[in-house]
Amino acid sequence: MKYAGAALLFVVVFIAVGIAMHFSIYQQPGVFVWSLREDADTGKTAFARSTLKVASSEPSAPAAAAETAQTKPTKEKTAEPTKEKATEPAEPGHSSEAVAAPENANEIRLFDGKTLGKWQKTPFGGEGDVFVNEDGHLEFGFGAVITGVNWAEAPPATSNYELSLEAMKLDGNDFFVALTFPVKDSHATFVVGGWGGGVVGVSSVDDLNASENETMSIEGFEKDVWYQIRVRVTDDQLRAWINDDEAVALDLEGRKISLLPGDIELSVPIGIASYQTRAQYRNLIWRKLPAGE
């Protein structure tokens, strides 16, 4: 009876947590990622996977109204003043829905704030929802494990480039950015806030993950704060910054750069992912490095 009572208490608490988590995410009754729905054809009620608003080819009604009526913008905290909004150029030979007319021919804007464009939801299994929210930001919902997107075309370059974005953690206690990118003939991932929320580093270097190699550092990250994330790959170096602080400066000569074996390999050639964490992203920009920079 003692064990039966403990088991019953565990089940009750587990279900209660699931109900509370579902309501906080989806604002409707349900348990974890499931809710009761009525089948329109049969009239029967059954559990089905809950979903948030999914990105469509047109801006959502609230977003369209915000653009036309110029409603009051949402107040946002910022860790550091973000860079001036980059222009939206197109690289000759690279057609994309997410690319606009160029002013700076070295830059490509990878996300237009309206649709996923050339990004696709990465099939990690158990991933959360991926959508463009009414503020025009790319948002990830809670997943059972990893949630993310990956670029569906070949990358503009595999060396001598910069890749940058702004990221905000909304809720959760693990990495809100795992930025996967090409490094010449391989790939790497810049992890921000991993291993319980504080580890920063590159996975993998000489087969050691971000928590084990010399790129590792421990940082604190607040919720509802925009952080600018930037990686730079040249033939000789891999560097990364969080806001204006350099987090990684790694000489590539004689080093093995690779991805951590497992799900993150699905993020190639360029990917963004979070782990059991709600997050949003904006200002995704690829920049070709001028000679000598």
pLDDT digits (tens, 9 = 90+) for 181-209: 999 999 999 999 999 999 999 999 999 99
Inform me whether the pLDDT recorded for 94 exceeds 60: no
For 118-153, give one letter per residue: b (16+ CB within 10 A) or e: bbebbebeebbbbbbbbebbbbbbbbeebbbbbbee
What's residue 30's pLDDT?
A: 73
Inform me whether the pLDDT recorded for 73 exceeds 60: no
Same structural domain, 172 and 281: yes
Percent of the chain clearing pLDDT 90 (strictly above): 62
Same structural domain, 163 and 26: no
Q: What is the mean pLDDT of the chain?
A: 80
Same structural domain, 91 and 69: yes
**Model confidence band, residue 252 (pLDDT cutoffs 50, 70, 90):** very high
What's residue 97's pLDDT?
A: 39
What's residue 105's pLDDT?
A: 80
- Using CA atoms, how far residue 242 sits from 44, 50, 199, 201, 221, in Å, is 51, 34, 13, 11, 11
Residues 6+ apart with CB under 8 A from 292: none
Same structural domain, 122 and 221: yes
CA distance 146 to 140: 10
Q: Where are the beta strands (DSSP E) in 7-113?
A: 34-38, 45-49, 77-78, 107-109
**Nearest residue to 276 via CA among 193, 215, 216, 220:** 193
Same structural domain, 85 and 208: yes
54 in any annotated domain: no
Same structural domain, 42 and 86: no
CA distance 226 to 223: 9
What's residue 165's pLDDT?
A: 98
Inform me whether the pLDDT recorded for 121 exceeds 90: yes
What's residue 24's pLDDT?
A: 59
**Nearest residue to 203 via CA among 183, 173, 223:** 183
**Model confidence band, residue 104 (pLDDT cutoffs 50, 70, 90):** confident
Residue 231's H or E segment, with its range, is strand 225-233
Inform me whether the pLDDT recorded for 287 exceeds 90: yes
What's residue 90's pLDDT?
A: 37
Same structural domain, 17 and 107: no
Same structural domain, 138 and 162: yes
Inform me whether the pLDDT recorded for 86 exceeds 90: no
Same structural domain, 44 and 84: no
Inform me whether the pLDDT recorded for 87 exceeds 50: no
pLDDT digits (tens, 9 = 90+) for 7-52: 676 666 567 656 766 565 556 677 655 566 665 555 566 665 555 4
pLDDT digits (tens, 9 = 90+) for 140-155: 999 999 999 999 999 9
Q: Hey, what's the torsion of the CAs at 55, 59, 62, 63, to 10 degrees? A: 110
What's residue 180's pLDDT?
A: 98
Q: Which range marks the domain in which residue 142 is found?
A: 61-288
Same structural domain, 69 and 148: yes
Residue with more model confidence, 86 or 156? 156
Same structural domain, 21 and 77: no
**Model confidence band, residue 293 (pLDDT cutoffs 50, 70, 90):** confident
Inform me whether the pLDDT recorded for 70 exceeds 60: no
Residue with more model confidence, 240 or 48? 240
Percent of the chain clearing pLDDT 70 (strictly above): 66
Least confident of 50-59, 84-93, 124-133, 182-191: 84-93
CA distance 264 to 282: 21
Q: How many domains is the chain built from?
A: 2
What's residue 29's pLDDT?
A: 74
Same structural domain, 45 and 66: no
Longest dimension (CA), the chain: 75
